[in-house]
């Protein structure tokens, strides 16, 4: 069974600070995909990044970076030099190749960037 | 349109009534998913269509919930005898196919906010 845990609920940061969101997942599948989605106040879910289970290389994309560690089943996400427009709820999600790719979401992290 | 669209954007109904929620996926996307998002929670999977058939309906909470996709494009989520606990945002997503990346990226619609009084 898929399970995603985002322990932090609300995180407040001052603009230009970095913010890291923690995500821990559970799966029995050997092939799976991890995602981060952003949900701004408008409500629409916006895809940010995806990682495959067989690729642990960590990358940076603009102000976003992620740290995927299979050994600890973690997929943490960092926003560098936060901006007010980053204020939103961020969801970590998992899909399994054998599960029709349905997404299992965590409860989300409410990020508030204070100007 | 370019993205996934859902209608209506808001639906208010009374307990016990029947409602239909519509989803128009991105043209050419064969996979379609319905999720339900309660206040303060992440979206929860309801049902998945591959083409016209419901390939996985394991997330439907009970037999009051039903969904169809008769022509493999538009999908309708139907809720009978609505209850106050059904109040939530219902999200639809589509992907090019359910296989591996990048084709399995799901694009979400804006959702339908259902309120059952």
pLDDT of res. B1:
53
pLDDT of residue B110: 94
**CB of A25 within 8 A of CB of A94?**
yes
pLDDT band at B100 (very low <50, low <70, confident <90, very high): low
Paired tokens of B20: 């239909």
Q: What's the gap in Å between the CA of B64 and the closest CA on chain A?
A: 21
> Residue B18 pLDDT more than 90?
yes
Contact residues on chain B for A42, CB-CB shorter than 8 A: 110
Longest dimension (CA), chain B: 42
Residue-level pLDDT, tens digit, chain A, 115 residues: 789 999 888 999 999 999 999 999 999 988 899 999 999 988 889 989 888 888 877 777 889 999 999 999 999 999 999 999 999 999 999 998 776 778 999 999 999 999 9
Determine if the peptide bond prior to B98 is cis (ω within 30°). Answer: no
CB contact under 8 A, A95 and B104: yes
What is residue B26's three-state secondary structure? coil
Q: How many other CB atoms are found less than 10 A from the CB of residue B61?
A: 12
Identify the contact set of chain B against chain A, taking CB-CB distances under 8 A.
31, 33, 35, 40-45, 48, 50, 55-56, 59, 89, 91, 93, 95, 98-102, 104-111
Give the Cβ contact number of residue A38 at 10 Å.
19
Contact between B9 and B76 (Cβ < 8 Å)? no
pLDDT mean across residues, chain B:
93
- pLDDT of B24 > 80? The answer is yes
Query: CA nearest B91: which of B113, B72, B71?
Result: B113
Measure CA of the first residue to CA of the last residue in chain A; give whole Å.
41
Task: Give B91's contacts in chain A (Cβ within 8 Å).
Answer: 45
Give B6 or A98, the one with higher predicted confidence. B6
């Amino acid at each position: 069974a898929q399970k995603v845990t985002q322990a932090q609920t609300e995180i407040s940061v001052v603009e230009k600070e970095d913010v890291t969101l923690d995500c821990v997942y559970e799966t029995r599948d050997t092939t799976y995909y991890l995602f981060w989605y952003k949900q701004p106040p408008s409500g629409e879910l916006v895809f940010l990044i995806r990682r495959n289970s067989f690729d642990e290389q960590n990358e940076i994309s603009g102000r976003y970076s992620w740290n995927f560690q299979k050994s600890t089943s973690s997929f943490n996400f960092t926003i560098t030099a936060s901006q007010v427009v980053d204020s939103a709820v961020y969801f970590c999600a998992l899909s399994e190749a054998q599960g029709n790719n349905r997404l299992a979401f965590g409860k989300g992290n409410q990020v508030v960037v204070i100007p | 349109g370019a993205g996934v669209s859902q209608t209506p954007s808001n639906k208010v109904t009374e307990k016990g009534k029947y409602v239909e929620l519509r989803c128009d996926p991105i043209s050419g996307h064969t996979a379609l998913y319905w999720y339900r998002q309660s206040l303060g929670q992440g979206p929860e999977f309801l049902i998945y269509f591959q083409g016209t058939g419901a390939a996985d309906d394991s997330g439907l909470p009970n037999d009051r919930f039903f969904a169809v996709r008769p022509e493999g494009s538009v999908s309708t989520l139907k809720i009978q005898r609505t209850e106050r606990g059904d109040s939530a945002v219902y999200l639809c997503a589509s992907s090019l196919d359910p296989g591996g990346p990048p084709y399995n990226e799901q694009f979400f619609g804006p959702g339908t906010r259902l309120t059952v009084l």
